[in-house]
Amino acid sequence: MRTGTTKLPLHGGRCPAWLFKEMKHLAGLIMEVIVLEYSSEEILRRISDPYWFQALGCALGFDWHSSGLTTTTCAAIKEGIRGREGELGIFLAGGKGRTSRQTPHEIEALGSKYALPDHIAGLQDTSRLVAKVDNAALQDGYNLYHHCIFFTSGGEWAVVQQGMNEDSRWARRYHWLGEEAGDFVTEPHKAICCDLRQDSILNMVARESEENRQGSTVLSRENPEQFLREWSKIREDEKMLELPRHHPLPQGKRISSSLYKAYLEQPAGFKELLAIPGVGPQTIRALSLLAELTFGTPPSRKDPVRYTFAHGGKDGHPYPVNKQTYTQSIDFLQEAILRARIGEPDKMKALRRLSTLQK
């Protein structure tokens, strides 16, 4: 199983209305087939695999190497299962831009609508923490603008989120799988898919950053007055000190404010530190630098980075979307699902045999 990130260029334009209509129809059918053949949990495992997710986007007919594949594929799945979440046992909250910030509210609304168990409410904190990790603990130059969480009534979950680098105009996708996330702060991404590596980033979730994480947590529990005095000395002497080139000194009052919050919270570990509201990239950079200078524990600087067509692509590559083939695929899946439900699984078996021929 591979989970991680994918790096994609930004393309302009919108998905044609006629294509998105077909995409959400086909996406809903594919989700239903997986549930019928396997389980709702299997959807999470496949969604968390960047290779499978990319292939799904290509099968739905979107740009094979566009950042829009992520947002449009997630939107197509969300619309494709809308109203049938309870029947399928799979739920999806979040999306792009403003919609991503409504994820906790959507989780609550889905829980209420389908009378899901109380523990589903915990997924709101999970959603926030996953976003915080990829925005603050993993500082790779990509600002998150898309966040989707897939989950089951049992509380199992997977997350697909994407960030954009304003300078390079490239996007990076992050995949999470709940059953493999561990403590959220130690190698939460199992594998990484990417075209380019960053030269030097702040990777606080690398295994090699464990001592720096511990040092940062210890410092966050100290009286901020002492921390800020030491920080001011660094700022005063920064021209004289041989500070690491990859450690820019954060600016502004946010650091002192978030440090006071951390001091009051007394976080037990790095995960709890990240979960404190207001503790963001600047605060983590500051704590990491001081932990490195104080305890001699540098963080990892390694970028944690490690594609199939069925119906064509909306931009005409590798060929234009073939509407007739698209319709035939939808009709085949619809008939296979209907027959399987009434005890005639012949078409589903044929589909299964086809899948073995591709291996």
* Tens digit of each residue's pLDDT (9 = 90 or more) over 139-157: 988 899 999 999 999 999 9
User: What pTM, to 2 d.p., does this model score?
Assistant: 0.78
Residue 348, pLDDT above cutoff 50: yes
What mean pLDDT comes out for the span 327-336? 75
Q: Would you say residue 273 has pLDDT above 60? A: yes
Over residues 50-71, the mean pLDDT reads: 76
Average pLDDT over residues 38-53: 91
Given pLDDT bands bounded at 50, 70 and 90, which one contains residue 191?
low
What's the pLDDT band for 223 if we cut at 50, 70, 90? confident
What mean pLDDT comes out for the span 78-84? 96
Average pLDDT of the residues in 157-184: 89
- pLDDT tens digits, one per residue of 274-288: 999 999 998 998 899
Q: Which residues lie below 8 Å from residue 45, measured CB to CB, with a gap of 6+?
A: 1, 158, 177
pLDDT at 359: 43
Q: How far apart are CA 110 and CA 107, in angstroms?
A: 5
Q: What is the mean pLDDT of the chain?
A: 82
Identify the pLDDT of residue 4.
Answer: 61
Give the pLDDT confidence of 106-128 residue by residue, as tens digits.
999 999 999 999 999 999 999 99
Higher-pLDDT residue of 197 and 280 is 280
User: Residue 242's pLDDT is what?
Assistant: 46
In the chain the first and final C-alpha atoms are separated, in Å, by: 16
Whether the per-residue pLDDT at 336 is higher than 80: the answer is: no
Is-cis flag, bond preceding 104, omega within 30? no
Per-residue burial over 236-273, b if 16 or more Cβ lie within 10 Å, else e, is: eeeeeeebeeebeebeeebbbebbbbbbebebeebbbb
Angle between helices 281-295 and 210-220 (to 10 degrees): 100
* Whole-number Å distance between alpha carbons of 150 and 95: 11
**What is the spatial distance between Cα 231 and Cα 288, in angstroms, rounded to a whole number?**
12
Structure tokens at 126: 């999970």
Lowest mean pLDDT among 245-249, 275-279, 344-348: 245-249
pLDDT band for position 10 (cuts 50, 70, 90): low
